[in-house]
Amino acid sequence: MAEAAKATSAKSAQSAGPAAGVDKLSFEQALAELEAIVGNLERGSVPLEESIAMYERGEALKMRCETLLRAAEARVETITRDADGRPSGTAPLDADG
């Protein structure tokens, strides 16, 4: 029964556009939905038009996950150490490496 509700919800979200509601999902929700889409597409049991819609939604979910990860990285701080190796404070994470 839960699977049918999830499928109906996914179809209504797809009919409203591939990115409908994606901006409100948490990282975990977006990733779980993305993984479900990938599984369905890998099985190849979905008609072509529906596969295209699922792929487009997957792209929107991927972008949502990337955005949330970048935001999390910006909040992470690294511990700085003095010449003796003792912690001396924190500095923002250098995302560029």
- Token pair, residue 22, equals 């994606």
Q: What pTM does this model have?
A: 0.65
Instruction: Please tell me the distance from the alpha carbon of residue 55 to that of residue 65, in angstroms, as a whole number.
Output: 15
Tell me what percent of the residues of the chain surpass a pLDDT of 70: 79
Report residue 20 as tokens: 């409908």
How many Cα neighbours within 13 Å face the side chain of 80?
Answer: 9
Tokens of 86: 């003792």
Q: For residue 97, is pLDDT > 80?
A: no
Name the residue with higher pLDDT: 92 or 66. Answer: 66
d(CA 70, CA 60): 15
Helix, strand, coil shares, percent, the chain, to 5? 65, 10, 25
pLDDT of residue 15: 54
* Predicted local confidence at residue 22, as pLDDT: 96
The full set of domain ranges for the chain reads 2-92
Instruction: List the structure tokens of 53.
Output: 């819609």
